[in-house]
Amino acid sequence: MNFSGLIDNFGPLTVTGLAQGAIYALFALGYTLVYGLLRLINFAHSEVFMMGTFAALITWGSLFGLDQNSATPGVGAVLAYLVIGLIAAIIVSGITAVVIELVAYRPLRRRNAPPLTFLITAIGASTVISELIGVITHRNLRGVPPLIKPANVVHFGNTSITNLELLIIVLALVMMAVLDTFINRTRLGRGVRAVAQNPDGAALMGVNKNRVISLVFLLGGLMAGIAAVMYVLKIGDTRYDAGFTLGIEAFTAAVLGGIGNLRGALLGGLVLGVAENWGAGLFGTQWHQVVAFVLLVVILMFRPTGLLGESLGRARV
């Protein structure tokens, strides 16, 4: 164990962990929303994310001829590229999520299939999409244009936050606030909460259940699209299986915070990201997942429903 390594690098490890955790959190929202509504673990969500990473890269590549060996464009152009990349990723991820719902889940729901069937179609949809992209891209890495020139914007002690890390963390917090407001304050959000609380009751009150379900998949897809752009900027590459390990981490974050709970997903993501980095600092990077999952088990032993408890329309409303 390397206590001095952890203590000396405590600030930087925390900051990079928060940035990674923010990506987990945005990603985890898709799991948590769908679970909160349908009690369904949408394993294909990792592919919703992966499609978003490729959408951003292909947009930058085909529309603007940017590849990873391009020079960094000027600030104004970068902002435009970022917004366009985000829009492309959001659209593609959103569509992918809704299509998965329509093709893999809705027909089963109509026939009242048992929960196990949904699990299998989820894994099936996930494999189909990721293998398809794997074959199309020859399983190669695809590099990201250097859109953001790394620069330190905040300093305290030996810790500095780069512009990219700041962007990721702030964007995640903002999106979380927007989504939280949407679910809790708007009419559509009320519909989501109603279906989560009592699907039949909501239907009797005139809520269109299928539309609400599609909406929830769409919201999860949008958040995954944003996470995808943040991911490619941070990691610098994507591949057909980019969503796989990250999906497991994001799902873990959702459970850690309390699955079905939006704020829980944020907290769970950040805690997981930071814990992994602290674990890596203390024991070495090869231990980072061991540390994270031991932490998960310990937390769930004391709080079986996660840090903030399960709710989407339950407890808190």
Partner 1 sequence: MRQGLVRALGGVAILAVIAGSAACNSTSKSSSSSGGKCGYELAFFGALTGSAANLGVNIEHGAELAVDQYNDKNGANCIKLDKADSQGSEQVAPGVARNLVTKKKLLGIIGPAFSGESAAADPIFDQAGIPMITPSATNPTLSTKGWKTFHRAVANDQNQGPAVANYIKDVLKAQKVFVADDQSAYGAGLADQVKAKLGSLVVGSDKTGGDGQQTDFSSVVQKIVASGATAFFYGGYYTNAGVLRKQLTQAGWKGVQLGGDGVNDPGYAEAAGNAAAAGSIVTLPAQPAAKAAGDFVSQYKAKWNVEPGTYSDTAYDAANMFLKGIDAGNTTTSKMNTFLSTINYEGVGNTYKFTSTGELDPSQLKIWAFKVDANGVPQPDQQVPTT
Shortest CB 172 distance to partner 1, Å? 15
Residues lying near partner 1 in the complex (CB under 8 A) are found at 5, 8-9, 12-13, 16-17, 19-20, 68-69, 127, 131, 139-141, 143, 146, 150, 152, 158, 162, 164, 234-237, 239, 241-242, 245-246, 276-277, 280-281, 284-286, 288
Shortest CB 236 distance to partner 1, Å? 4
Shortest CB 280 distance to partner 1, Å? 3
Nearer to partner 1, 234 or 263 (CB): 234
Burial 202-231 (b: 16+ CB within 10 A, else e): beeeebebeebbbbbbbbbbbbbbbbbbbb
Nearer to partner 1, 21 or 85 (CB): 21
Shortest CB 46 distance to partner 1, Å? 13
**12's tokens:** 């930087």
Nearer to partner 1, 100 or 233 (CB): 233
Shortest CB 115 distance to partner 1, Å? 24
Shortest CB 133 distance to partner 1, Å? 14
Nearer to partner 1, 180 or 237 (CB): 237
Nearer to partner 1, 219 or 272 (CB): 272
Nearer to partner 1, 127 or 305 (CB): 127
